[in-house]
Structure formats: C-alpha cells, structure tokens
Amino acid sequence: GGGTTSAGTGGGGGDSITMGFAQVGAESGWRTANTKSIQDAAKNAGITLKFSDAQQKQENQIKAIRSYIQQKVDVIAFSPVVESGWDPVLNEAKNAKIPVILTDRAVDSKDTSLYKTFLGSDFVEEGKKAGQWLVEEYKDSKDPVKIVELQGTTGSAPANDRKAGFQQVISADSKFQIIASQTGDFTRAKGKEVMEAFLKAQPDIDVLYAHNDDMGLGAIEAIEGAGKVPGKDIKIITVDAVKDGMQALADGKINYIVECSPLLGPQLMDLAKKVVKGEQVPPRVVTEETTFTQEQAKQALSSRQY
C-alpha cells in the first residue's frame, strides 16, 4: 500500500489498490446486503479488500482502522457505528496520508478535512417520509394516534436522524403522540423483546414506527404473541425494504416501508479509485431511494435483489 505506486500490494499490478473496510457488524438484513455489495464491488473493480466486522462496537472499529493505518492500505472506508468520538483515529489516518471515505453513516466531527467524502442515505428524509405516510393515513381522524418507536442503535446517525425527521413531520399535529420510544439496536431479537415490554406497559398502541425492518419483524412476533394482528390492530412503518420486510409488507403485516439502499459497493469503489488518484470528489453523495405501499411491495418483491 502507501499511495498510487503500491507495487506488490493486493497481488495485482503496480496500480492495484488496497482498501481497508471497517464494517459495523452483521446486525440486520440491510447490513448483510451491504457487506455483500462491498465485497462483490471490490472484486469487480480489482480492489483488494481487507474487511473487518466490529460487532456493533466502536472500540473494535477504531482498532480495525488503526491496523489498516499500520498496514499502509491505500484507502480506508468505514461505516461509523455511532456519530461521535472519531477525531483521534481520523487524525491518525490523516497524518499517515491515508484518505478516508465514510459510507452509510455519518460522523459528527467538526473538521471535515478528516474524510474525503460521505456516501449514503439521507436519514432525516427517510424519517420524514415515514411521518408523511402517517399524517396522510390519519388525515380524517381527530382521535389521538398513539405511537411506539423502536429506535436504531443509540448514538448512530440513522437512529438520530430517523427519529428527528419523523418527529419534525408529526409534530405539526398534536394528535400524534409518541407514548414510548426505546432502542432495539437494529436487531430482530431486540425488536421483539422491546415490543413485548411496550405491549405489557401500553394497553392501546395504534402505530409502531421501527427504524429498520428487522426490528419491525421482531416486533411482529411480539404483537402476534400478544394476540393482536400486525398491520391491522397496530399499524407498522419501517425503514430499509429488505426482502423479509417486503414480504411482510406484501402479506399485510407491515403497512409502509421507506427504502434505504444498502447497495453502496459500486459507488464506493468508484470514489475510492478517484480519491487514491488524488482526484476531486463531491463531499457528499446521497443514495437514491423510494417508498413502498403494500400493493407496490407485491409488484416489487420478485425483482428484489436482497
């Protein structure tokens, strides 16, 4: 590694690039699809990938990044599990002159010279889309709408922003009330566990807003276990649109899904090549995304890649 004339790294020709990628973990269907997209795209682009899984722990990600710095990779990419606390390690990469690309999740560092670009979704926008569906769904009702929220990993950009965007839209009408909100860490198991607790504590829940499909799918098990009908007794909105989520949407157990694309691999490899060559790249690359109703999910299911 160590720049553009890295003969010998990656077993390729003199121009081959080695990327160190510090992944968040394997917490969700989204993450699995994201990892596959990155691994496939690296292969197709002829980029040698060093890959690590941090099991949702920031300390593990920092260790992985430090080891990539030590190995003198040509470029470091990572999806920061939480937003804060990255300045020291990012400064170490900068001092070693190794460019860093953020993918999927943002950091809250004030010093934007610590990374070259940030590729990923607009999570505030996703939260707003979830809220807009709800406002439309209940537009003819005057009664209070009691909402429970399953948040993503505490301190992560998607949890912070999906909460904020949703809140911003529903706060226009005081009939919308978030009666409980807790983290389910983006996993199915936690989503189920927290939803069980919500159901015990709250006799009438109208709506569940889950920050990802997996937590929503776990919650569906809890709702069914409590003798209620998901999608009817409790309306469910989730984010991601992975296959299992789309199936539940088509089956009527989820009511609406806001898409968040995990297929970031090809764009990441393009950006990496440019950054390693020292070319200019846009500081922010936003992923294009849509939303799905139950009818749209039935149409889209067969062609879903992940």
Residue 188 in contact with ligand GYE, rule: CB under 6 A: no
Residue 149 in contact with ligand GYE, rule: CB under 6 A: no
Q: How far is the CB of 32 from ligand GYE (least distance, A)?
A: 10
Site string for ligand GYE, 242-271 (x = CB under 6 A): ------------------x-----------
Residue 80 in contact with ligand GYE, rule: CB under 6 A: no
In sequence order, which residues have a C-beta less than 8 Å from that of residue 163 and are 6 or more positions away? 127, 149, 151, 181, 211
- Binding segment for ligand GYE (CB under 6 A), chosen from 11-19, 27-35, 230-238, 250-258, is 27-35
Q: How far is the CB of 70 from ligand GYE (least distance, A)?
A: 27
Residue 118 in contact with ligand GYE, rule: CB under 6 A: no
Q: How far is the CB of 156 from ligand GYE (least distance, A)?
A: 7
Residues 264-303 that bind ligand GYE (CB under 6 A): none
Residue 160 in contact with ligand GYE, rule: CB under 6 A: no
HEC readout, 35-100: HHHHHHHHHHHCCEEEEEECCCCHHHHHHHHHHHHHCCCCEEEECCCCCCCCHHHHHHHHHCCCCE
- Binding segment for ligand GYE (CB under 6 A), chosen from 26-34, 58-66, 165-173, 269-277, is 26-34
Burial per residue of 127-159, b for 16 or more beta-carbon CB atoms within 10 angstroms, e otherwise: bbbbbbbbeeebeeeeeebbbbbbbbbebbbbb
Residue 103 in contact with ligand GYE, rule: CB under 6 A: no
54 within 8 A of 24, measured Cβ to Cβ: yes
Q: How far is the CB of 128 from ligand GYE (least distance, A)?
A: 15
Residue 190 in contact with ligand GYE, rule: CB under 6 A: no
- Residue 146 has phi, psi (to 5 degrees) of -95, 120
Would strands 176-183 and 145-151 be described as parallel, antiparallel, or unpaired? parallel
Chosen residue from 9, 17, 19, 27 binding ligand GYE by CB under 6 A? 27
Residue 68 in contact with ligand GYE, rule: CB under 6 A: no
Q: How far is the CB of 96 from ligand GYE (least distance, A)?
A: 27
Residue 306 in contact with ligand GYE, rule: CB under 6 A: no
The amino acid sitting at 83 is E
Chosen residue from 60, 212, 238, 255 binding ligand GYE by CB under 6 A? 212
Q: Which residues bind ligand GYE (CB under 6 A)?
A: 27-28, 30-31, 104-105, 158, 186, 212, 214, 239-240, 260
